[in-house]
Amino acid sequence: MDIVHDLHNLMGGFGVALSPINFLYCLVGASLGTMVGVLPGLGPLTTIAMLLPLTFKMPAVSSLIMLSGIYYGAHHAGSTTAIMLNMPGEPTSVVVCFDGHPMARQGRAGPALFVAALGSFFAGCVAVVVIALCSPLLASLALDFRAPEYTSMVVLALLAAAVLTGGSLVNSIGMVAIGLLLGTVGTDVNSGRERFTFGLGNIAAGIDFVAIAVGLFAIAEIAARIGHASRVKEAPASDISQAVPKLRNLLPSRQDLSSSWKPILRGTALGAALGVLPGTGPLVSSFASYSLERQLADDPTRFGKGAIEGVAGPEAANNSAALTHFIPMLTLGIPAGAAMALMLGALTIQGITPGPMVMQDHPDLFWGVVASMWIGNLMLLVLNLPMVGLWIRLLTIPYRFLFPCILVFCCIGVYSVSNSPADVFMAAGFGAFGYLMLELDCKPAPLILGFILGPIFEVNLRTALVVSRGDPLIFVTSPISLGFLLVALALLLSTSLPWLRRIKGGTGRARPSVASRTYEPEDLPH
pLDDT by residue (tens digit) across 374-416?
A: 999 888 888 777 776 676 676 666 767 777 877 887 888 788 7
Q: What average pLDDT does range 457-471 have in this prediction?
A: 87
The pLDDT of residue 395: 67
pTM of the predicted model as reported, rounded to 2 decimal places: 0.78
The pLDDT of residue 243: 53
- What is the spatial distance between Cα 461 and Cα 336, in angstroms, rounded to a whole number? 20
The pLDDT of residue 237: 46
Q: Is residue 117's pLDDT more than 90? A: no
Percent of the chain with pLDDT over 90: 7
**Segment 417-463, tens digit of pLDDT:** 777 788 888 889 998 998 898 888 888 878 888 888 888 888 888 88
**Segment 122-136, tens digit of pLDDT:** 988 898 888 888 888
Q: Is residue 226's pLDDT more than 80? A: no
**Segment 282-318, tens digit of pLDDT:** 877 888 888 888 888 888 888 888 888 888 888 888 8
Q: What average pLDDT does range 109-121 have in this prediction?
A: 86
Contact 375, 65 (CB under 8 A): no
143 exposure class (CB count in 10 Å sphere: 0-12, 13-18, 19+): exposed
The pLDDT of residue 20: 92
Residues 6+ apart with CB under 8 A from 216: 49, 430, 431, 433, 434, 444, 447, 448
User: pLDDT tier at 279 (50, 70, 90 boundaries)?
Assistant: low
The pLDDT of residue 46: 79
Report in angstroms the alpha-carbon separations of 116 from 106, 189, 385.
Answer: 17, 49, 10
Q: Is residue 193's pLDDT more than 60? A: yes
